[in-house]
Amino acid sequence: MIEVCFSATGRLDFPIHSGVNTAIMITMRWVRAFLFFAFAVIAPFLCAQSAHDPSAFIQPGTVWLDTQGHQIQAHGGGILYHDHLWYWYGEDRRQGLDPDKRYVACYSSQDLIHWTFRGHPLELTDPTNIGRNWVLERPKVFYSPSTRQFVMYFHLDDSEYKVARVGTAISSTPTGPFHYVRSFRPLGLESRDIGQFVDDDGSGYIIFESRPSGGFYIALLSSDRLSVERQVAFLHLALEGGALVHYNGLYTVLGSHLTGWSPNPNVYASAPSLSGPWSEFSPISPDSTDTYGSQSTFLLKVTGNKNTALIFMGDIWKPKELWDARYLWMPLQIHGSKMYLPAPTPWTIDVTTGVVTMK
């Protein structure tokens, strides 16, 4: 018979009785060594991991790594939810890319926390001979259920932002390759920063800033998403980084003032329908914080079985090192028609329940 007991030192001891053969003794020594290793070395490591796993939290403003350990490059981005996956598209500003091309990066996730790089759905060479330092910014991808195609919109411009057009590209898969279609001015108007919105009935919209009219437009897309059909609203405040959401029976638009790469107090307004009447604009966070150093790019609604979370997605730009620009994603606090962006802190979300937890 073999008894197993703990010694005073906490180690496992196996009193060996006469009659037990050498093979069993050796085996038991190996078992003891293994168990000691498992308890003393692996277990504390695993416990520490589960208690402090930094990758299980979204940490606004820090370097956000993808599942391969590379810094996520999805600036001025937007999210598409398709076939149980979230796709995050944005400007890829990493160092070492071909300076004549512009790159849109795509990441996918099942939990909004861990993102896998899915390559460059669009790698574009100056499509309309704009010239050196041409600009492709704020890519957004729509899915058209009627054509089963994915359509990307982006801001297309020259280095002085005088071209002021949108570009479109199309693909049969969310990860591309997208093929450039054309560039145009939506509703015949100058268009710089663009934002995207899909309503509960599936209609797609872009929001675009138009400097000559001193405001921004919400415009309906055709069902194939390839053209801009008509103006739905004009809001008379010059705003960029526009975002729009439908939450709790209210439409809310959000945007920043026109201060280029520098942050400013982002503002929002709400309305019972897209065509208005729209409320006055209010700051989303205390003015002195300049939106905690960020600029809006998207409002993400996550509908769970217990809660519907609304997430502010913004960019913390670093104009001299755009490749190291950061992200500020934070759950918004909503009270009736009031919306508030709390100070950044690590947080996490359960996408099944929609429940958000602050660290």
Residues at the site binding ligand GAL, with contacts judged by CB under 6 A? 76, 137-138, 193, 240-241, 260-261, 295
Name which of 57 and 155 has its Cβ closer to ligand GAL.
Answer: 155
| Distance of closest approach, residue 242 Cβ to ligand GAL, in angstroms | 9
Compare residues 270 and 295 and give the one whose CB is closer to ligand GAL.
295
Burial of 182 (0-12, 13-18, 19+ CB in 10 A): middle
Buried b (16+ CB within 10 A) or exposed e, 203-233: ebbbbbbbbeeeebbbbbbeeebbebeeebb
Q: Please tell me the distance from the alpha carbon of residue 314 to that of residue 265, in angstroms, as a whole number.
A: 12
Residue nearest ligand GAL, CB atom distance: 260
Nearer to ligand GAL, 120 or 138 (CB): 138
Q: 113 or 238: whose CB is closer to ligand GAL?
A: 238
CB of 179 to ligand GAL, least distance (A): 24
In three-state secondary structure terms, 215 is: strand
Distance CA 249, CA 19 (A): 80
- Of 76 and 331, the one with the shorter C-beta distance to ligand GAL is 76
Q: Report the 10 Å Cβ neighbour count for 161.
A: 15
CB of 355 to ligand GAL, least distance (A): 32
How far apart are CB 41 and ligand GAL at their closest, in Å? Answer: 49
Tokens of 173: 């898969």
Q: Do 294 and 328 meet the contact criterion of CB atoms below 8 Å apart?
A: yes
Task: Please state the closest distance from residue 56 (CB atom) to ligand GAL, in A.
Answer: 30
Nearer CB in complex with ligand GAL: 136/349: 136
Specify burial of residue 190 (Cβ count, 10 A radius: 0-12, 13-18, 19+).
middle
Least distance CB 153 / ligand GAL (angstroms)? 14
19 residue type, one letter? G
